[in-house]
Structure 1
Amino acid sequence: MDYANRKRPPKRPPIKKKPAAKKASAQRAVPWRIVVLALVLVGLFVWGLVTIAGKRHQQPAVSPSQPEPVPATVPQSINELPELPQERWEYIDELENQEVIVDVPEREVGPPKVMQCGSFRQLADAERLRAQIAMAGLESQVRTTEGQTGTWHRVILGPYATKREAEAERHKLERARIHNCMIWNWE
């Protein structure tokens, strides 16, 4: 379709407004009842505020013949202090002289732990992982073993006295993006 050469649509005739509707809105009656009610409510509100404010500023008159009451609990001198109360409790003395015996079982330390981070057919792969572990700040070893399926080169860390020590070093390795390290009992 050629938009440049198309014809303009025919003009519509303007909509004529009715003059009666215009006059009716201009001559609408003011609701005098609502105006009077609003003025009365505003007047009552202002009168209430003035009444409250006037009561706040008024102070009761004090006759000069009556002396001011003095509280009975005030000491006569600043240096005078009240007496210390007597202790009513006896358990304080009893507890100071008691000895508590607690039976703490010793932690069972299992066999030493070793952490294996990889097992490879090629020695070069094992040495590459060992270098990554060294860059993380830990010392590892490559142990070569002969099995039924051939020669394996294992990358191990340890031995550790507790599993907690091994877990701490495994977290260091995970922060260095070395994953899949397993903790085993040392044989």
Structure 2
Amino acid sequence: MAVDYAKRGAPKKKKPAAKAKPAARGATRKSAKAKNGPGVPIGALLVTLVVIALFVAFLWFLKSGEAPDPGVTEQGPAAATEELEPLPEIPAERWQYIEELESQQIQVEVPEQAESRRRLMQCASFRSHEEADNLKARIAMAGFESQIRETTGSNGRWFRVILGPFDNLRDAQRTNNQLQRTGIYGCQIWLWNLD
């Protein structure tokens, strides 16, 4: 069976129910308590009060259980300071090592033969004179004077770029370090034997 909802029409509105009148004054109070629910539980209130009391007792124990200050006696702090011995005076410091260092001299033993012999420094050896000239120009740009020596040996003719003579090994090493800072590496320090 089919129902025609269009012909049925709008649903009928319900009428609101009439409010009940309270019978007596006491009945109104009971119904208000029933609507609000039960009151504060007495057990939770007691537990809260016990916790607060224990916390206060703990704080009181901490305060009264502190160790007494050793500087304070029954007579007061002034009496305690009078009983202590006075501290000794600070001794004057005397720095001896400064005077000792000023008067000391450092002595370095250098073997006289190794230091006093003359040195030369060879920076490269080339087959062509042009390559030797290029290196000589780079050394001149670094601020040092070099020489090109031609040598002929069992393996042919070579052009050696040398610096020196240096009076000692220290001067030769200083020059070599300065050349390395400018990008010229591979110089070797030898004893002078080009007389």
Partner of 2:76: 58
Give matches, 1:157-168, under 5 Å: 157-168=163-174
In the TM superposition, residue 136 of structure 1 has moved relative to its aligned partner by 1.1
Residue identity opposite 2:158 in structure 1:
W
Tell me the TM-score normalized by structure 2.
Answer: 0.49
Q: Secondary structure at the residue paired with 1:165? A: helix
Q: Which amino acid aligns with 1:147?
A: G
Q: Sort the Cα spacing of 1:141 and 1:58 in 2 relative to 1 into closer, same or farther, 3 A.
A: same
Query: How has the CA–CA distance of structure 1 residues 133 and 60 changed in structure 2, closer, same or farther, with 3 Å as cutoff?
Result: closer
Aligned partners of 1:182, 1:34: CA distance in 2, in Å? 90
Q: 1:33 offset after TM fit, Å?
A: 6.6
SS of 1:164's equivalent in the other structure is helix
Percentage identity across paired residues of the two chains: 39
Question: TM-score, normalised to structure 1's length?
Answer: 0.51
Which runs of 5 or more residues in structure 1 are unaligned? 1-26, 62-70, 72-103
- Residue 148 of structure 2 corresponds to residue 131 of structure 1: no
Cα distance between partner residues in 2 of 1:112 and 1:60: 83
Cα gap change, 1:122 to 1:106, in 2 (>3 Å): closer
Taking the aligned partners of 2:169 and 2:161, their CA distance within structure 1 comes to 18
Pairwise mapping of residues 95-114 of structure 1 onto structure 2 (< 5 A)? Answer: 107-110=111-114, 111-114=117-120
Tell me, in whole angstroms, the C-alpha distance in 2 between the residues paired with 1:32 and 1:120. Answer: 104
Paired residue secondary structure (1:183): strand
Aligned match for 1:186, one of 149, 169, 192? 192
> d(CA) in 1 for partners of 2:141 and 2:170?
22
Decide whether aligned partners of structure 1 residues 106 and 148 sit closer, same or farther in structure 2, where only a CA change above 3 A counts: closer
Q: Which amino acid aligns with 2:174?
A: A
Name the CA distance, whole Å, in 2 between partners of 1:186 and 1:60: 88
Matches of 2:190 and 2:140, distance apart in 1: 21
Which structure: greater helix fraction?
2
Q: Which runs of 5+ in 2 are unaligned?
A: 1-40, 80-85, 87-107
- Please tell me whether the aligned partners of residues 121 and 152 of structure 1 are also in contact (alpha carbons under 8 angstroms): yes
Aligned CA distance change for structure 1 residues 158 and 39 (closer, same or farther; 3 Å): same
Helix, strand or coil for the counterpart of 1:109?
A: helix
AA in 1 matched with 2:112: E
> Bigger radius of gyration, 1 or 2?
2
- Hey, what does 2:175 align to over in structure 1? 169
Residues 1:58 and 1:122: Cα distance change in structure 2 (over 3 Å): same
Q: Which residue of 2 aligns with 1:45?
A: 62
Distance verdict in 2 for CA 1:145–1:60, change over 3 Å: closer
Note the alpha carbon deviations across 1:103-150, whole angstroms, 9 max, x for none.
x97742343111000000111111111111111111111111112222
User: Cα 1:105–1:168, aligned 2, differ >3 Å: closer, same or farther?
Assistant: closer
**How many equivalent residue pairs?**
119
Give the CA RMSD over aligned residues: 3.6
1:9-48 superposed matches below 5 A: 36-47=53-64
